[in-house]
A and B are shown apart, each in its own frame.
Chain A
């Protein structure tokens, strides 16, 4: 209780701190943190509070200055960054934009301390890289010198909905629909499917046999072939 009162008093004092002094102390405490010596998180937290809860442009500038390099290091350290083909700065900017709008104004109150703020900042780096890789995944080239098909993403959501409905019409059996979902939507391999649904398919071979049948059915359908080749007149 006494501790809480002291903390509250300290927070009140900190709100009176000049911005330059606050930034200086935040930078010092960050260095202490990186050196693994005792450090005080309140200065940096107050800087974030002013920048985001109070929408103080100069405090935001200090946050940007202090944390953008760290965000770029997080991007470089993300396991999916190397396959994205993008630059670290691009993801750091997008992650910062995401973070800024998620915590601006009253929403900042959902984050009671520096560690929750920084965890969210870091999680924005993760989602920015992950979503990018999800949206722009380059199909694996299974053999040398293969050409990647030209793919249009115009009206992608509508297209996906039409395709899926059409596939469900072609595959009457519910298990076939489930298998198509596993393979074409979730990109699971036969052994993963068998592991997830052992009551339906006993092993990967059984999955493969059924999957071959499904592929033949789909490939034979002229409407599906036309649609995949970009002809949408039968929508």
Chain B
């Protein structure tokens, strides 16, 4: 195979495309010439992989930059990040964006209706229903129902207690390291989109008020950032 529009493009001309500094005729050439395009795609692939692996490898996390920008860091850490920011245009831009964002008060339309998540997210784990569950009236009074779920040694009991105007979702976490789940954040989304939240106490207990028990989703997030996700919980009561 040879160049369709000789002379064939030089490496320098192709690298200018990678740097976003090429002229339209070079791009036109690459669009229509299979020979030059194949060479360019090899260069592009190498460049993309390299940049992906190295991108901002020594930049502080966005949370650290935020705490630096809001003067919430202790002195040694602050100095360390100041030294980096001084040299790094990307981090300086990120801090500038934060300040702009905090100043902005532009009204925006209300969010669109909820859509399903596109894919599983990192640090999310999905407990499964324990064999034989639901366990009816395991610990509750008449009319209550208990579900039992488990994953990697963490067990979750969920019970919906009907009450006027809705129900109370009561939960209990059992784990070898229960302290890791103490003060975990509990978030519940109900079928109508209403959301509610609670906190796991030191005994692993939590409760949240529900409008109804029809199809709820539950997230429990530990301080370490691990989230237990239970979708589409169905109580029969």
Q: List A residues at the B interface (Cβ < 8 Å).
A: 55-57, 60-61, 63-65, 68-69, 72-80, 85-90, 93, 96-98, 100-101, 104-105, 110, 119-120, 122-128, 130-131, 134, 137, 139, 142-144, 146-149, 151, 156-157, 159-161, 163-164, 184-192, 196, 204, 208, 211-212, 215-216, 218-219, 225, 228-229
Contacts and interface: CB of A to CB of B under 8 A. Distances in A.
A142 B117 contact: no
Contact of B62 (A131, A163, A216): A131
Contacts of A120: 70
Interface of B: 11-12, 15-21, 27, 30-31, 37, 40-41, 43-58, 61-63, 65-66, 69-70, 72, 88-90, 94, 97-98, 101-102, 104, 106, 108-112, 114-115, 117-118, 121, 183, 185, 187, 195-199, 206-209, 219, 221, 223, 225, 227
B88 A143 contact: no
A79 B17 contact: no
A130 B12 CA distance: 33
Nearest to B224: A101
A156 B51 CA distance: 12
Contacts of A160: 53-54, 57
Given A61-B209, A69-B111, A87-B115, A185 B58 contact: yes
Given A61-B197, A159-B53, A218-B50, A76 B19 contact: no
Given A57-B197, A157-B57, A159-B53, 15 more contacts: A57-B199, A60-B199, A63-B197, A64-B196, A69-B110, A73-B108, A87-B115, A87-B118, A96-B185, A123-B66, A130-B62, A142-B20, A142-B44, A211-B19, A229-B49
A157 B17 CA distance: 29
A68 to B, nearest CB: 6
A203 to B, nearest CB: 12
Nearest to A101: B223
Given A97-B185, A189-B21, A64 B197 contact: yes
A80 B66 CA distance: 16
Contacts of B44: 142, 146
A186 B56 contact: yes
Contacts of B114: 87, 89
B72 A143 contact: no
A69 B108 CA distance: 12
Contacts of B97: 79-80, 126, 130
Contacts of A186: 56, 88-90
B114 to A, nearest CB: 6
B229 to A, nearest CB: 11
Nearest to A93: B187
B41 A146 contact: yes
A62 B114 CA distance: 20
B196 A187 contact: no
A74 B110 CA distance: 10
Contact of B66 (A127, A149, A216): A127
B48 A148 contact: yes
Given A73-B108, A126-B98, A208-B21, A184 B198 contact: no
Contacts of B183: 55, 104-105
Given A64-B196, A123-B66, A77 B48 contact: no
A155 to B, nearest CB: 10
A199 B112 CA distance: 51
A112 to B, nearest CB: 13
A190 B118 CA distance: 37
A57 B62 contact: no
A143 B41 CA distance: 10
A60 to B, nearest CB: 5
Among A57, A74, A93, A161, max chain B CB count under 10 A is at: A57
B193 to A, nearest CB: 10
27 contacts: A56-B199, A60-B199, A61-B198, A61-B209, A64-B187, A65-B195, A74-B101, A76-B109, A86-B118, A88-B111, A89-B115, A93-B219, A101-B223, A122-B102, A124-B66, A130-B97, A142-B18, A143-B31, A144-B31, A149-B49, A163-B53, A163-B54, A185-B55, A185-B56, A189-B20, A204-B21, A225-B46
